[in-house]
Structure 1
Amino acid sequence: MTPDQRPTSSPRPTDSTGPASTPRATGPRSDLTRRRALGLAAAAGGGVVAASAAAPALAAGTAAGGGTPGPATPAKELPPVHPVPQKVTVFDGNVSLAGKVSVIVGKDTDDSALAALREVLEDAGASISLITATSEKTTAQGTRIHLGTSEDNPTLAPNLEALGAKGADDLEAEGYVLAAGRSKSALVVLAGRDAAGSFYAVQTLRLLLAGTSRLRQVEVRDWPLMQIRGSIEGFYGIPWSHQARLDHFPFYGRRKLNTYIYTPKDDLLLRSKWRDLYEGEALEDMAELVETATKNHVHFTYALSPGNDITYGSDADFAATVKKFDQVRDLGVTSFYIALDDIPTELGEEDAAQFDSLAAAQAHYLNRLQDEYVKANDLEPLQTVPTEYWGSGPSDYKTAFGTGIDPDIRVQWTGEGVFSPQVTVDSASKAEESYHSEHLYVWDNFPVNDGRRDRIFLNPLEGRADTLHEHFDGFTSNPMIEPYASLPALANYADYCWNPPAYEAEDSFADALDELAGDDRQVRRALDVFVDLNVNWPYRDGSPKAPALAADVEAYRKAYEAGTQGGRADLRTRLNRITELPRALEAMASQGFVDDTKSWMTAASQWAQGIKEQDRMLTALEEGGLKKASRAAASAKANFRAATAATVPDQGDDGVYEEDQITPSVGDGVFEVFIAWAWAQLRDVLPDDPSLPFVGLPATASTTLDQYQDHAPALMVDGDESTMFWSSRAPKKGDTITLELTNPSDLRFVQLKMAKSDETAGDQVYAGVVEASADQETWTKIGTLAGDPVFTKELAQPVRAGWVRVTVTGKNPGGKWVQVREFAVSDEVPSGG
Structure 2
Amino acid sequence: EALFLIEEILGTRVRPSSSASLVIHEGVEDIRLPSKEAYSLEVLPKERRIDLHVSSSRALLYALETIRQLSSPNDGGLRIPEAKVLDWPLFQFRGVVEGFYYDPWSWNQRREVIRKLSLFKMNSYIYAPKHDPYHRERWRERYPEGWITEFGKLVSTCKRWHVDFFFALSPGLSVIYSSREDEELILRKFLEMAEIGANGFCLFLDDIPEKLAHSEDLERYSSLAEAQADLVNRILRRLRKEVPGAKMMFCPTRYAGTDLGSYFEELCRLMDEEVLIMWTGPQVCSKRITVDDAKNLEKEAGDRLVIWDNYPVNDYARNRLNLGPLKGRDPRLYKLIRGVFSNPMNEPYASLLPLATFADYLWNPESYDPADSWNRALKLLYGNCSEPVAFLSRQLGSSILWPEEPEELRILRKLADNPEENEELSNYFSKLSSLKEKLEACGGKVLDLLEEASAYLTKLHLYGEAGLKLLRLSEERGERAFERWVEFLGLLISAEDIREAAGEVPHFDERGWRISGRRFLCEALLDASREIFRRKGWPSLLLLPYSTIRYQVDGCSPWHMIDGRLDTSYMTTRKVRSGDVVGVDLGDSLQINSVRIEGGREGQRESIRGMLQYSTDGNYWRDLAEVRTPVFEVRFSDLRARYLRVLSEATEKPVSISLFQVQTVPYSVKASKGSKTTPYCLIDGRLDTYFEIRRAEPGDWVLIDLGEYKWVEGVLIFQDPTYFARDLRILGSDDGKRFKSFGRVRRIVQGVKISEELRYLKLEVLREQGLARIYQVQIT
TM surpasses 0.5 = yes
Instruction: Give yes or no for the alignment of 1:256 onto 2:116.
Output: no
Tell me, yes or no, if structure 1 residue 344 matches structure 2 residue 245. Answer: no
Once the two structures are TM-superposed, the CA of residue 419 in structure 1 deviates from its matched residue by: 1.1
The separation in 1 between residues aligned to 2:226 and 2:176, in whole angstroms, is 12
1:127 aligns with 2:27: no
Kindly tell me the number of residue pairs found equivalent between the two proteins.
619
Superimposed CA distance per residue, residues 704-755 of structure 1 (whole angstroms, 9 cap, x where no aligned partner): x9999xxxxxx99x9999xxx999995379999899x9999677x54679xx
CA distance in structure 1 between the partners assigned to 2:303 and 2:150 by the alignment: 35
Return the alpha-carbon distance in structure 2 between the equivalents of residues 508 and 187 of structure 1.
Answer: 29
Taking the aligned partners of 1:235 and 1:693, their CA distance within structure 2 comes to 40
Equivalences for residues 109-188 of structure 1 within 5 A: 111=1, 113-119=2-8, 123=12, 127-128=15-16, 142-147=19-24, 149-150=26-27, 167-168=30-31, 170-181=33-44, 186-188=48-50
Distance in 2, Cα, partners of 1:500 & 1:549 = 31
Per-residue displacement from partner, 1:806-830 (whole Å, max 9, x unpaired)?
A: 98795126xxxx7989943436522
Q: Identity of paired residues, percent?
A: 26
Equivalent residue number for residue 576 of structure 1: 430
1:396 is displaced (CA, Å) by 1.6
Q: Show CA shifts across 1:677-728 (max 9, x none).
A: 1342255367876x975699xxxx9x9x9999xxxxxx99x9999xxx9999
One-letter amino acid of the structure 1 residue matched with residue 66 of structure 2: T
Q: 1:425 to 1:729 in 2, by over 3 A?
A: farther
Please give the secondary structure, in 1, of the residue aligned with 2:44. strand
* 1:484-508: CA deviation from partner (whole Å, max 9, x where unpaired): 0111111001111111112121121
State the distance in 1 between where 2:339 and 2:525 align: 45
Shift of 1:800: 6.2
Matched, 1:731 2:620: no
Paired residue type of 2:404: P
Q: Is the 8 Å Cα contact of residues 140 and 186 (structure 2) preserved in structure 1? A: yes
2:455 equivalent in structure 1: 599
What is the rounded CA distance, in whole Å, between the counterparts of 1:528 and 1:733 in structure 2? 37
Sort the Cα spacing of 1:411 and 1:295 in 2 relative to 1 into closer, same or farther, 3 A. Answer: same
| Structure 1 equivalent of residue 148 of structure 2 | 283
Alignment-mate amino acid for residue 731 of structure 1 = V
Query: Could you list the runs of 5+ residues in structure 2 that have no partner in the other structure?
Result: 506-518, 552-557, 565-569, 613-622, 638-643, 670-679, 683-689, 692-780
- How far is 1:306 from its partner? 0.6
Query: How many Å apart are 1:280 and its aligned residue?
Result: 3.1
Q: Which of 305, 313, 316 does residue 448 from structure 1 map onto?
A: 313
Match of 1:396 in 2: 262
Q: Does 1:680 align with 2:517?
A: no
The one of 380, 383, 386 aligned to 2:252: 386
Normalized per residue, the structure richer in strand is: 2
Look up the match of 1:615: 471
Q: CA deviation at 1:117?
A: 1.2
What code does the residue aligned with 1:338 have?
L
Q: Does 1:811 align with 2:652?
A: yes
Q: Out of 92, 108, 111, which is 1:246 matched to?
A: 111
* Shift, 1:308, TM fit: 0.8
Q: Which amino acid in the other structure matches residue 195 of structure 2?
A: D
* Pair 1:682–1:504, CA change in 2 (3 A): same
Aligned equivalent of 2:278: 412
Could you give the per-residue CA deviations for residues 253-308 of structure 1, whole angstroms, max 9, x where no partner exists?
21111111111111111110111111132222111111112111111111111111
Is the 1:618–1:678 Cα contact (8 Å) retained in structure 2?
Answer: no
User: Does structure 2 retain, via aligned residues, the 8 Å contact 1:768–1:806?
Assistant: no
Deviation of residue 619 (structure 1)? 3.1
- What is the aligned partner in structure 1 of residue 86 from structure 2? 221
Question: Pick from 360, 368, 371: which aligns with 2:226?
Answer: 360
- Residue deviations 1:600-633, cap 9 Å, x none? 111111111112222222333xxxx132222111
Task: Show CA shifts across 1:576-610 (max 9, x none).
Answer: 01100111001331321111111111111111111
**Are the equivalent residues in 2 in contact too, given 1:772–1:801 (CA < 8 A)?**
no
Supply the distance in 1 between the matched residues of 2:544 and 2:126 (Cα, whole angstroms). Answer: 51
The residue that corresponds to 2:236 in the other structure is 370
- 2:412 counterpart letter in structure 1: V
Find out whether 1:824 has 2:661 as its counterpart: yes
CA offsets 1:760-790 (integer angstroms, 9 cap, x no match): x9xx9932378999x999999554xxxxxxx
Given the alignment, which residue of 501, 504, 507 partners 2:369? 504
**Is the contact made by 1:768 and 1:808 (CA closer than 8 Å) also made in structure 2?**
no
Does the alignment pair 1:632 with 2:492? no
Residues 1:289 and 1:474: Cα distance change in structure 2 (over 3 Å): same
CA shift at 1:517, angstroms?
2.3
Matches of 1:214 and 1:746, distance apart in 2: 73
8 Å CA contact retained: 2:158, 2:164? yes
User: Which residue of structure 1 lines up, in the alignment, with residue 346 of structure 2?
Assistant: 481
- d(CA) in 2 for partners of 1:489 and 1:735? 30
Q: Distance in 1 between matches of 2:117 and 2:49?
A: 28
**Cα gap change, 1:465 to 1:280, in 2 (>3 Å):** same
Question: 1:78: which partner in 2?
Answer: none
Provide the rounded CA distance (Å) in 1 between the counterparts of 2:628 and 2:227.
55
Question: Which residue number in structure 2 is paired with residue 42 of structure 1?
Answer: none
- Cα gap change, 1:673 to 1:595, in 2 (>3 Å): same
Question: TM (normalized to structure 2)?
Answer: 0.71
The offset of 1:461, in angstroms, is 0.9
Partners of 1:328 and 1:115 in 2: how far apart? 26
* Counterpart Cα distance in 2 of 1:182 and 1:524: 30
Aligned residue identity for 2:196:
L
* Structure 2 residue 193 is matched with structure 1 residue 328: yes
- Provide the C-alpha distance between the structure 1 equivalents of 2:219 and 2:178, rounded to a whole number of angstroms: 10
Q: CA deviation at 1:801?
A: 7.5
Per-residue Cα deviation, 1:316-337 (whole angstroms, up to 9, x for no partner): 1111101111111111111000
1:346 shift after superposition? 2.0
TM-score by length of 1: 0.67
Q: Deviations over 1:516-556 (max 9, x none)?
A: 3233xxx333223212112343334xx323x2221111133
Alpha-carbon distance in structure 1 between the residues aligned to 2:523 and 2:592: 31
Q: 2:606 aligns with which of 764, 767, 779?
A: 767
Separation in 2, partners of 1:630, 1:493: 50
Query: What is the Cα deviation at residue 234 of structure 1?
Result: 1.0
CA distance in 1, matches of 2:33, 2:611: 79
Q: Distance in 2 between matches of 1:497 and 1:422?
A: 15
Q: Distance in 1 between matches of 2:372 and 2:579?
A: 52
Determine if contact 1:751/1:825 at 8 Å carries over to the other structure: no
Distance across 2 between alignment mates of 1:293 and 1:352: 41
Q: Is the 8 A contact 1:337 1:383 kept in 2?
A: yes
Q: In the alignment, is the contact (CA less than 8 A) between 1:228 and 1:259 conserved in 2?
A: yes
Q: How far apart are the structure 1 equivalents of 2:635 and 2:604?
A: 25
Whole-Å Cα distance in 1 between the matches of residues 169 and 610 of structure 2?
A: 49
2-side partners of 1:488 and 1:821: how far apart? 40
**Closer, same or farther in 2 for the Cα pair 1:395/1:706, shift >3 Å?**
farther
- Do the aligned partners of residues 217 and 681 (structure 1) sit closer, same or farther apart at CA in structure 2, a change above 3 Å counting? closer
Asked if the contact 2:277–2:301 (Cα under 8 Å) also holds between the matched residues in 1, the reply is: no
CA distance in structure 1 between the partners assigned to 2:116 and 2:579 by the alignment: 51
- Aligned residue for 1:513, secondary structure, equals helix
CA offset digits 1:325-367 (Å, max 9, x no partner):
1111111111000111111112112211211111111111111
Farther off after superposition, 214-223 or 475-484: 214-223
Provide the aligned C-alpha RMSD in A: 4.2
Aligned partner of 1:812: which letter?
A: K
- Deviations, residues 370-392 of structure 1 (Å, cap 9, x unaligned): 22224653333310111111111
Query: How far is 1:400 from its partner?
Result: 1.4
- Cα gap change, 1:821/1:351 in structure 2, threshold over 3 Å: closer, same or farther? farther
State the SS of the aligned residue for 2:292: helix
**Contact 2:23-2:50 at 8 Å conserved across structures:** yes
